[in-house]
Amino acid sequence: MSLIDKKAQENPNWFSARLYLARNHTQLQQWPQARSRFAEMIALQPDNLPLYSSQGFVLTQLKDYEGAQKHFQTYFDKTPPADRQNEVLIHATLSDMALERKDFPAALKWLDNTPNAADELDIQLKKSVVYDKQGNVAAAKRVLQQFNPKNEDESVRLTLAKSQRAEAQKAPAEAASELDDALQTYPDQPDLLYERAMVAERQDDL
């Protein structure tokens, strides 16, 4: 990697070398170096739009939220919806950034504007969290209750979220009930069984 880095410095227009280095820096979580390489590539190929979203994720790791949002917005502005990659993840990331600065309306807006938001479990889970942090307990619960899981994995994840949320709200009986209902459908599901045992233990109900 050091040899390629040296060659890249000697050849400022060598794009593929910078792409290789950026990927390696990202894998190694060397975010400042990754940021520099993506910036160099954007300067070389300003119409290579996926570079902007990649740089957005790197800047998120560096907590440069203003820079991250700017790059994500450039990606959205210039990329047709049909060609966008990782759009759900970008919306979720932008929502997380808004939530960190306690801008609850912006956090919810990014989630609601996600393509097919109502069918994306990850988006709905995040939406419930935003409502809880906002103090809107009823809305947080309603989001989870209204979601229709499409398969076993989503059913399990949703049930765990409901149960854990109920416990956080000091409603252990409700947490147990959510798990018991799911276990009627998936009686041997290990995550549900484990969580039910933990709820019982915390309730001193074994």
Instruction: For residue range 148-203, list pLDDT tens digits in order.
Output: 999 999 999 999 999 999 999 999 999 999 999 999 999 999 999 999 999 998 88
Residue-wise pLDDT tens digits, 21-77: 999 999 999 999 999 999 999 999 999 999 999 999 999 999 999 999 999 999 999
Residue 132: CB atoms within 10 A of its CB come to 17
Residue-wise pLDDT tens digits, 98-134: 999 999 999 999 999 999 999 999 999 999 999 999 9
Burial profile 80-110: b = 16 or more Cβ within 10 angstroms, e = fewer: eeeebeebbebbbbbbbbbbeeeebebbbeb
Termini Cα distance of the chain: 56
Structure tokens at 158: 């949703």
Arithmetic mean of pLDDT, 88-103: 96
Give me the amino acid identity at 93: T
Structure tokens at 20: 């290789």
Query: 47-50: long-range contacts at Cβ-Cβ below 8 A with a sequence spacing of 24 or more?
Result: 49/74, 49/75, 49/78, 49/79, 50/75, 50/85
